[in-house]
Amino acid sequence: MLVDKSVRDFLGELASRAPVPGGGSVAALSAGLASALTEMVANLTVGRKGFEEVEEEMKQITQEASEYREKFLKDIDKDADAFNKVMDAFKLPKNTPEEIDKRKQVIQEEFKNAALVPLEVAKGAIKLMKFTSKVVEKGNKNTISDGAVAAMMARTAVLGALYNVKINLQSIKDEDFVNQISQQVHELDTKAIEEEKKILSNVGF
């Protein structure tokens, strides 16, 4: 599994000629890093003098961010697996009309799945940003730069994941599916940029 590799090994594999891991896995990793930084800021707020009023809220955020961190870790491999299934579909036999039809059907199904996996990463990263916003606004001011980086990583996760959605949509022939997902992509793209601006406006430097 990709998530079990060392940072050095993961980056080495990412830099290689192998098609996976790729941008989708990196988007999920970015979301995981944003989760961890959000969790860090909340943890460094709990128990600190002057932050008693937000302590329970910060404890809740640590739990939520931890759950997102675990989810995004799974998505690193989930994205790579989705791409591999697309490649496997292209290897299906095409010796008879039945095999050709079946192959086309499976290819389309796997392209849809390969679009939906990063779409879920983008949706998750958007949801995470509301917790990042809270730790930047209310958390330990000595860690506000870490909160800012969390916001930027979450934004990058959303936009990066959405590019992976878009490239898969180009190969999908189901127009209703493409139109529906494209609308979601547009909304998430816009929201991620707006949320980042709002969070960073509270950083103050």
Residue 82: give the domain boundaries.
Answer: 19-200
2 within a domain of the structure (yes/no): no
CATH code assigned at 48:
1.20.120.680
80 within a domain of the structure (yes/no): yes
Query: What does the pLDDT read at residue 141?
Result: 93
8 within a domain of the structure (yes/no): no
Cα gap 137→198, rounded to integer Å: 10
| 47 φ/ψ angles, rounded to the nearest 5 degrees | 85, -5
DSSP structure string for 19-48: S-S-HHHHHHHHHHHHHHHHHHHHHTTTT-
pTM: 0.95
205 within a domain of the structure (yes/no): no
153 within a domain of the structure (yes/no): yes
Pick the closest to residue 151 from 29, 73, 38 (CA basis). 38
91 within a domain of the structure (yes/no): yes
pLDDT tens-place values along the chain, 205 residues long: 899 999 999 999 999 999 999 999 999 999 999 999 999 999 999 999 999 999 999 999 999 999 999 999 999 999 999 999 999 999 999 999 999 999 999 999 999 999 999 999 999 999 999 999 999 999 999 999 999 999 999 999 999 999 999 999 999 999 999 999 999 999 999 999 999 999 999 897 7
How many domains would you assign to the chain?
A: 1
Cα gap 164→158, rounded to integer Å: 10
Query: What does the pLDDT read at residue 205?
Result: 76
31 within a domain of the structure (yes/no): yes
Return the biggest CA–CA distance within the chain: 73
